[in-house]
């Protein structure tokens, strides 16, 4: 097939045809949604020939590919990215203009698919972008949630969740393939039978659902390549339906349908805190079983010799969510394909690799044996056997060291008998990686030390990255143009070339241009916020930004204490408002709906903003803005405008962070702790261009060991005491002291994330930020050096590291 001509006329013709043939309307009677959909279809048409060509090329090459298994993909809007990848942005803009349509207007009509919670889902989206751009064969497998991450609104400053009906107006980017549906089974029991003298096991499931694949194009940047993202949607099986329909129980049939379709109905809005809910395990098994079957049955050639499976695929496990794939592949190989256990295990161990994304022990998934055995009885048997064999090996190595056996067992006995999914992944995975140097080190030394000792060479690191196409080129077009004017093209796919900008940091004209772009980006953001929420970024303010999921370990409270400290100093007369560096603080954060403390903190941020923004004594020098519903679209607007990036988690808690990378690449300076990838950012940009504060991870450990009493910090530090007292006094809750009492007592008597212990050094570092910002030219120089030295954080580099250290998948040329 051929693509439409790459001319304005060709584009217009295709667009008008799509309006007529796909939407069934003439231009004169078309709605904005019609026009957006027709435009999206037109871009699709240009990608189609390449996609089909790539599918053919990959089928013929018979090379090794990556199946990325992820329960989340936080994709962001597709239109702009796909226009960029195909180089059609200008043609499309002109074509729309010639039809009397403002393309910017249409952009606003795309609802972003919010099929992820935060960093983990966004990482998956960056990775598939990079693989396509590098020409590496990849299928991203996941779930097509009917409702993605909730839409956040505020009512009286408190978070209210609205359902995210992202499919309501239709998604022009998806291709349903009901003919390629897979059946996924649940429940029932297992039985053994005699197969020509060999005793085998079969699973007799209790019920099935259909998994329908929806394909999405994943275009590479300017390379004519298109990979596939395949997301599964759940439907009731016909057989299931029919039996009940024939029994005449219509209501029961509808109930069964609903039951099945619930599996892909909604994304769990938990981030860094798994919910041990049955439906969630159903979701996990549903997409993993469908994906493995899809790969074996439809991607591999017929009669493929499965002992050679490791030559064709690596299943990368994005966190523990898809780990049930390990016993699933074993079941398919042993029960369905008749392989011997040991042969199947050798294959399985080569075909999986596991990425751990956390250091919080409570975030490591465990499934109660009762639940798992009820839902997936055969898988539980297989897990037990894997564990028995593994513990035999441990015994063979160390003798009957019962303590060690208990610590390394995939089955935990307390508080209830459950399967430790991270251990299962570690035992089965060819490699286990952390997501930043510090995280990988802590993983080896603190989280899984016994496994690191037992499996030398299994643990490795791949520091996260972000795609520069979306987070530099699309988010910051002016900066991209400035960089291109200095370096020429090519840097977007070879981001280390940003190093060449270092000399420009010394060029006053370049600094001026860079500073003007930052100012433009602030104005652009201000216009977006004005239209969206009726608030503006004040002129001449430093833009101080903390956007990420709301979690206590990320310490939004610490940022808030800084704001309250400044406010208190002004109203108590310790500081004249005129002497305060004007700052606009931007927060963006969703709280998991069941996370009460996180929701209280959101309420408090809004309450502080309400008071600070309206107190005339502040003279407008401090301003707190909390636009609701932080998502990828908003990130693309906020980050390029930021002067200061807040990365202030307690050391040893943030695995990597990727927001930190997006900011640095857009010329924001970081104030941060020695945590996650902050460590690597600081090493690269240099201490002079980074505001470090707070305890290091060993210092955190030492303080816990000594005994941490947050109230002592409160007693000792008058500034801290004033800030906390002001919150406790009801100053931000209309005099009602009870509203934020739980937040205050949590800080004073619990403070698991040591906000009070790091407060003093944080305030000190913020004073240094103020002093540095006073010299705009020097600040801009630092900002340029941040951009120049952060090319390492391209997700293209992450992909190269995965390929070299874990996957060994060459590009298909």
Ligand X SMILES: *Cc1c(COP(=O)(O)O)cnc(C)c1O
Question: What is the per-residue burial (b if ≥16 Cβ within 10 Å, else e) of 591-612?
Answer: bbbebebbbbbbbbbbbbbbbb
Q: Please identify, using beta-carbon distances, which residue of 369 and 591 lies nearer to ligand X.
A: 591
Smaller CB separation from ligand X, 35 or 662: 662
What span, in angstroms and rounded, lies between the C-alpha atoms of 210 and 677? 41
CA distance 284 to 321: 6
Q: Which is nearer to ligand X, 433 or 631 (CB)?
A: 631
Strands (E), 507-599: 542-547, 583-588
Alpha-carbon separation of residue 662 from 122, 209, 439, 451, 472 (angstroms): 12, 40, 19, 33, 8
Residue 629 CB, nearest approach to ligand X (Å): 10
Strand partners, 199: 194
Contact 672, 682 (CB under 8 A): yes
User: Which member of 378, 518, 549, 781 is catalytic?
Assistant: 549
Beta-ladder partners of 139: 67, 228
- Identify which of residues 229 and 380 has a Cβ nearer to ligand X in the complex: 229
Q: Are 649 and 670 in contact (CB under 8 A)?
A: no
* Between 256 and 635, CB nearer to ligand X: 635
For residue 83, the minimal CB distance to ligand X (Å) is 20
Is 623 labeled as catalytic in the residue annotation?
no
| Shorter beta-carbon distance to ligand X: residue 213 or 672 | 672
Q: Report the nearest approach of ligand X to the CB of residue 138 (Å).
A: 21
> What DSSP character marks residue 807?
I
Please report the DSSP string for 177-233 in residue order.
-GGG-EEEEE--EEEEEEETTEEEEEEE-SEEEEEEEEEEEEE-SSSS-EEEEEEEE
The residue (of 271 and 568) whose beta carbon lies closer to ligand X is 271
Q: Are 418 and 411 within 8 A, CB to CB? A: yes
Strand spans (E) along 413-476: 418-420, 432-434, 459-461
By beta-carbon distance, which residue lies closest to ligand X? 659
* Rounded-to-integer distance, Cα 524 and Cα 537, Å: 10
554 is catalytic: yes
CA–CA separation, 481 vs 514, rounded Å? Answer: 11
The label of the residue with tokens 């998934």 reads: 365
Residue with tokens 């089965």, as numbered in its chain? 428
Per the document, the length of the chain is 813
Q: For binding to ligand X (CB under 6 A), which residues are involved?
A: 118-119, 122, 548-549, 630-632, 635, 657-659, 662
In three-state secondary structure terms, 152 is strand
Question: Is 662 labeled as catalytic in the residue annotation?
Answer: yes
Of the candidates 693, 762, 721, 717, which has an alpha carbon nearest to the alpha carbon of residue 568? Answer: 721
Instruction: Please pick, among 50, 230, 357, 431, the residue that the annotation labels catalytic.
Output: 357
Say how many C-beta atoms besides its own lie within 10 A of residue 377's C-beta: 19
Of 493, 658, 780, 809, which residue is the catalytic one? Answer: 658
Active site residue 658: yes
- Token code pair at residue 767: 């004073």
Q: Which is nearer to ligand X, 282 or 476 (CB)?
A: 476
Confirm whether 549 is a catalytic residue. yes
Residue with tokens 């060459």: 810
Residue with tokens 């090459």: 61
Structure tokens at 785: 């050096």
Out of 331, 662, 781, 789, the active site residue is 662
Partners of residue 189 on adjacent β-strands: 204
> Minimum CB separation from ligand X for residue 644, in Å?
14
**Alpha helices, DSSP H only, in 574-622?**
596-614
Rounded to the nearest 10°, the torsion over CA 485, 665, 224, 293 is 180
Between 290 and 602, CB nearer to ligand X: 602
Could you say which of 151, 554, 590, 603 is catalytic?
554
Nearer to ligand X, 86 or 660 (CB): 660
**Closer Cβ to ligand X, 320 or 795, answer by number:** 795
- Cβ closest to ligand X, residue 505 vs residue 635: 635
C-beta separation of 328 from 285 below 8 A: yes
Helices then strands, each counted (H, E), the chain:
32, 25
CA angle 133, 13, 222 (to 5 degrees): 10
How many other C-beta atoms are found inside a 10 Å radius of the C-beta of residue 179?
7
CB of 122 to ligand X, least distance (A): 4
DSSP 266-322: B----SSS----HHHHHHHHHHHHHHHHHIIIIISPTT--GGGGGGTEEEEEESSTT
Shortest Å distance, C-beta 653 to ligand X: 11
The set of catalytic residues is: 357, 548-549, 554, 658, 662
């Amino acid at each position: 097939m051929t693509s439409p001509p790459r001319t304005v006329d060709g584009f217009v013709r295709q667009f008008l045809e799509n309006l007529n043939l796909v939407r069934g309307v003439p231009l004169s009677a078309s709605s904005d949604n019609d026009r957006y959909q027709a435009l999206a279809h037109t871009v699709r048409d240009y990608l189609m020939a390449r996609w089909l060509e790539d599918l053919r090329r990959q089928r013929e090459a018979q090379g090794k590919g990556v199946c990325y298994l992820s329960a989340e993909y936080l994709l962001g809007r597709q239109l702009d990215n796909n226009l960029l990848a195909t180089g059609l942005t200008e043609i499309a803009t002109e074509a729309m203009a010639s039809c009397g349509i403002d393309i910017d207007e249409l952009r606003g009509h795309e609802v972003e698919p919010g099929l992820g919670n935060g960093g983990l889902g966004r990482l998956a989206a960056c990775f598939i972008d990079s693989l396509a751009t590098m020409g590496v064969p990849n299928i991203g497998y996941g779930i097509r949630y009917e409702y993605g991450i909730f839409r956040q609104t505020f009512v009286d400053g408190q978070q209210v969740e609205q359902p995210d009906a992202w499919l309501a107006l239709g998604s022009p980017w998806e291709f349903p393939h009901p003919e390629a549906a897979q059946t996924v089974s649940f429940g029932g029991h297992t039985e053994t039978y005699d197969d020509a003298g060999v005793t085998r096991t079969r699973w007799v499931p209790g019920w099935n659902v259909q998994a329908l694949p929806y394909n999405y194009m994943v275009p590479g940047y300017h390379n004519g390549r298109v990979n596939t993202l395949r997301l599964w949607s759940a439907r009731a099986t016909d057989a299931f339906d029919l039996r009940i329909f024939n029994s005449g129980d219509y209501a029961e049939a509808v109930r069964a349908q609903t039951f099945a379709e619930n599996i892909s109905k909604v994304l769990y809005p938990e981030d860094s805190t798994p919910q041990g809910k049955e439906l969630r395990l159903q979701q996990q098994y549903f997409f993993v079983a469908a994906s493995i079957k899809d790969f074996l049955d439809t991607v591999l050639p017929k009669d493929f010799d499965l002992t050679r499976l490791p030559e064709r695929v690596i299943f990368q496990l994005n966190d523990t969510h898809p780990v049930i794939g390990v016993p699933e592949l074993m079941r398919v190989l042993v029960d369905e394909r008749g392989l011997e256990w040991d042969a199947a295990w050798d294959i399985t161990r080569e075909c999986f690799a596991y990425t751990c994304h956390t250091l919080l022990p409570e975030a490591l998934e465990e499934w109660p044996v009762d639940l798992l055995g009820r839902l997936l009885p055969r898988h539980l048997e297989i897990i037990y056997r894997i564990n028995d064999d593994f513990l035999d090996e441990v015994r063979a190595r160390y003798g009957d060291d019962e303590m060690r056996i208990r610590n390394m067992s995939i089955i935990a006995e307390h508080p209830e008998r459950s399967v430790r999914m991270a251990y299962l992944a570690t035992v089965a995975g060819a490699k286990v990686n952390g997501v930043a140097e510090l995280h990988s080190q802590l993983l080896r030394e603190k989280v899984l030390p016994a496994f690191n000792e037992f499996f030398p060479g299994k643990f490795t690191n791949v520091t996260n990255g972000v795609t520069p196409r979306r987070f530099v080129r699309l988010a910051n077009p002016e900066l991209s143009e400035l960089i291109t004017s200095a370096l020429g093209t090519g840097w977007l796919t070879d981001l280390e070339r940003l190093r060449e900008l270092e000399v420009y940091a010394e060029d006053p004209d370049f600094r001026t241009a860079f500073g003007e772009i930052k100012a433009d980006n602030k104005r652009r953001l201000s216009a977006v916020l004005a239209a969206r929420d009726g608030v503006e970024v004040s002129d001449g303010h430093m833009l101080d930004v903390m956007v990420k999921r709301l979690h206590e370990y990320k310490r939004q409270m610490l940022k808030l204490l800084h704001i309250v400290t400044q406010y208190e100093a002004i109203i108590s007369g310790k500081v004249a408002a005129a002497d305060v560096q004007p700052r606009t603080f931007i927060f963006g954060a969703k709280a998991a709906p069941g996370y009460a403390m996180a929701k209280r903190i959101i309420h408090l941020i809004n309450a502080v903003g309400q008071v600070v923004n309206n107190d005339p004594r502040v003279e407008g020098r401090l301003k707190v803005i909390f636009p609701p519903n932080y998502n990828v679209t908003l990130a693309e607007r906020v980050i390029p405008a930021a002067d200061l990036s807040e990365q202030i988690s307690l050391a040893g808690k943030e695995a990597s962070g990727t927001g930190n990378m997006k900011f640095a690449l857009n010329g924001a300076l970081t104030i941060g702790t020695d945590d996650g990838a902050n460590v690597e950012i600081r090493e690269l940009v240099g201490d002079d261009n980074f505001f470090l504060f707070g305890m290091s991870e060993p210092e955190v450990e030492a303080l816990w060991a000594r005994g941490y009493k947050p109230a002592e910090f409160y007693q000792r530090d008058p500034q801290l005491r004033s800030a906390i007292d002001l919150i406790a006094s009801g100053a931000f809750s209309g005099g009602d002291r009870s509203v934020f009492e739980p937040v205050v007592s949590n800080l004073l008597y619990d403070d698991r994330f040591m906000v009070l212990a790091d407060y003093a050094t944080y305030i000190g570092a913020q004073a240094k930020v103020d002093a540095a910002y006073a010299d705009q030219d020097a600040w801009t120089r630092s900002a340029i050096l941040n951009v120049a030295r952060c090319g390492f954080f391209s997700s293209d580099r992450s992909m190269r590291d995965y390929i070299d250290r874990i996957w060994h998948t060459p590009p298909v040329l």
